[in-house]
C-alpha cells in the first residue's frame, strides 16, 4: 500500500495540495488561507514581500521623478542663463551705442540674474529632495 507523502519533508503523510505548485504536502507544510491551501514555499507571506517590493519600487519611482525634475530644471536654468548671457551681450552692445537703452539694459540684467538665482535655488532644492528620497530607499 503506497501512501502519498509530503513532497517537502518526505516521510509524513501528505493531506493537502498546494494551489500553486500542486505538490502534495503535510499539515506542517500546508498553509491554509482564504485563497486556498499553499505550501510553505508558496504561502501568501510572499505577497507581503511583493507588497514591500512594490512600496520600494514606488519610492524608487518618486526618486526617479525628482531626478528627472532636477535634470529638467537644471537644463532650464542653464538654458535661461545662456539666453540672458547672450541677450545681455547684444543689449550691452546696443547700450554702448545709445545711452537711452542703458537703464533698460540694467533692468534686464538684474531681472535675468534674479530669475536665474531663483531657478538655481529651486534646482538645488529638488536636487536635495532627490538625494533624501534616494537615501530613504534602503
Ligand atoms: Zn511536510
Ligand atoms: Zn507550492
101-132 per-position pLDDT tens digit:
777 777 877 888 888 899 999 999 999 998 88
Q: What predicted TM-score, i.e. pTM, was given to this entire model?
A: 0.48
Torsion of CA 126, 82, 96, 101, to 10 degrees: -60
> For residue 51, how far is its CA from the centre of ligand 2 (angstroms)?
19
**What pLDDT, on the 0 to 100 scale, is given for residue 21?**
95
CB 52 within 8 A of CB 45: no
How is residue 93 written as a grid cell? 552692445
More confident residue, 52 or 29: 29
Of 4-18, 37-51, 110-124, the poorest mean pLDDT is in 37-51
* Structure confidence by residue, pLDDT tens digits, 55-106: 666 667 778 888 899 999 999 999 988 988 888 788 778 777 777 777 777 7
Which-ligand-closest: CA of 21? 2
12: CA distance to ligand 2 center in Å?
Answer: 16
Amino acid at each position: 500500500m503506497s501512501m502519498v507523502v509530503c513532497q517537502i519533508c518526505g516521510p509524513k503523510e501528505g493531506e493537502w495540495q498546494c494551489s500553486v505548485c500542486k505538490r502534495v504536502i503535510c499539515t506542517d507544510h500546508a498553509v491554509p488561507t482564504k485563497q486556498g491551501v499553499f505550501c510553505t514555499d508558496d504561502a501568501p507571506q510572499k505577497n507581503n514581500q511583493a507588497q514591500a517590493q512594490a512600496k520600494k519600487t514606488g519610492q524608487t519611482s518618486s526618486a526617479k521623478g525628482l531626478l528627472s525634475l532636477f535634470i529638467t530644471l537644471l537644463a532650464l536654468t542653464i538654458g535661461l542663463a545662456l539666453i540672458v548671457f547672450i541677450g545681455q551681450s547684444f543689449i550691452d552692445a546696443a547700450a554702448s551705442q545709445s545711452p537711452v537703452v542703458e537703464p533698460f539694459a540694467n533692468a534686464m540684467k538684474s531681472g535675468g540674474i534674479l530669475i536665474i538665482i531663483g531657478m538655481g535655488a529651486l534646482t538645488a532644492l529638488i536636487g536635495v529632495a532627490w538625494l533624501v528620497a534616494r537615501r530613504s530607499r534602503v
